[in-house]
Amino acid sequence: MLDAEFFRRWMTATAASVEREAERLTALDSPIGDADHGSNLQRGFRAVREALDKEPPATPGAVLTRAGRLLISTVGGASGPLYGTLLRRTGKALGEAAEVERGQLAEALGAGVNAVRQLGGAAPGDKTMIDALVPAVDALGGSFAAARDAAEEGAVATTPMLARKGRASYLGERSIGHQDPGATSSALLIAALVDASAETEAGGE
Ligand code: ADP
Ligand code: MG
């Protein structure tokens, strides 16, 4: 079972990998965007980590809705509202439960991804974060590690795609041949689930 503490660790682990990978995310956003994706997410996840450390919410749903609201208010650009919606909608779908199973998280994250698709209008194949998130949700029923691998493969698979949404779409054919920054950061978010669960096992409880 996954409790509020697990979800807090998930957000903390995401914040840590965003710190580690911020330069790479910004570099990916340079040829097909405006070179701010790493710094955008760094600002957002720093705020999330600080808020959750200061006052840890009591339920998994509350951790994610809180994180989502903070991302919306601190991250500029397209990715703030999109990531904020992802986490807020996922948190809402988890409801008030004190603990949830991985299958429930998979279902809730599916609802979150659908909300992102509605907000941004992107479908799989449009070269966005959706291309990492959809395969991750599909694999999450299997294991966190399977979801991590699926998200990573999904991110890599955006390279040959033509961007149809967001700034990269302004480049048309010239967007081909570059990995999408948002799909790359989404893969970090999903990989952080593995980090958060590894800590539980290492804790040996
Ligand atoms: P901005 O494009 O405003 O500078 P960021 O650089 O922070 O915002 O984020 C860019 C990422 O946001 C893209 O790589 C893409 O994955 C994602 N993105 C942009 N528009 C959309 C959309 N309509 N739907 C889903 N994801 C999108
Ligand atoms: Mg950008």
Domains of the chain with CATH codes: 2-194 (1.25.40.340)
Backbone angles phi, psi at 124, to 5 degrees: -55, 140
**pTM, to two decimals:** 0.97
For ligand 1, atom 23, name the residue with the nearest CA.
120
Pick from 119, 120, 113, 93: which is nearest to 104 by CA?
93
- pLDDT mean across residues, the chain: 96
pLDDT for 198: 87
Pocket residues for ligand 1 (CB within 6 Å)?
29, 33-34, 36-37, 40, 77-79, 82, 120-122, 128-130, 165-167, 180-183
Long-range own/partner contacts, residues 68-77 (CB < 8 A, 24 or more apart): 70/44, 71/44, 71/45, 71/47, 73/47, 74/43, 74/44, 74/47, 75/40, 75/41, 75/43, 75/44, 76/36, 76/40, 77/34, 77/36, 77/37, 77/40
Q: Two tokens at 20?
A: 């580690």
CA atoms lying within 13 Å on the CB side of residue 20: 10
Q: Two tokens at 28?
A: 């990916």
Find out whether 32 and 182 touch, Cβ atoms under 8 Å: no
48-91 pLDDT tens trace: 999 999 999 999 999 999 999 999 999 988 999 999 999 999 99
Over range 110-127, report the average pLDDT.
98
pLDDT for 76: 81
Per the document, the length of the chain is 205
pLDDT for 205: 42
- Is it the case that residue 139 has pLDDT exceeding 80? yes
Provide the H-helix boundaries in the chain. 4-32, 37-54, 60-74, 79-94, 102-120, 130-140, 144-156, 181-203
**SS3 label, residue 202:** helix
pLDDT for 200: 60
What is the band of 122 on the pLDDT scale with cuts at 50, 70, 90? very high
pLDDT for 204: 42
Which amino acid belongs to residue 171?
L
Q: Two tokens at 87?
A: 């986490």
What is the band of 30 on the pLDDT scale with cuts at 50, 70, 90? very high
Task: Of 87-91, 136-140, 148-152, 201-205, give the lowest mean pLDDT range.
Answer: 201-205
Over range 138-145, report the average pLDDT.
97
pLDDT for 98: 98
Point out the ligand 1 atom lying closest to the alpha carbon of residue 167.
2
C-alpha 191/C-alpha 189 separation (Å) is 6
What is the DSSP secondary structure assignment for residue 35, as one 8-state letter?
A: S
- Is it the case that residue 9 has pLDDT exceeding 90? yes
What separation in Å is there between the alpha carbon of 140 and the centre of ligand 2? Answer: 28
pLDDT for 51: 98
163-186 pLDDT tens trace: 999 999 999 999 999 999 999 999
pLDDT for 201: 57
* Residue 198 or 147, more confident: 147
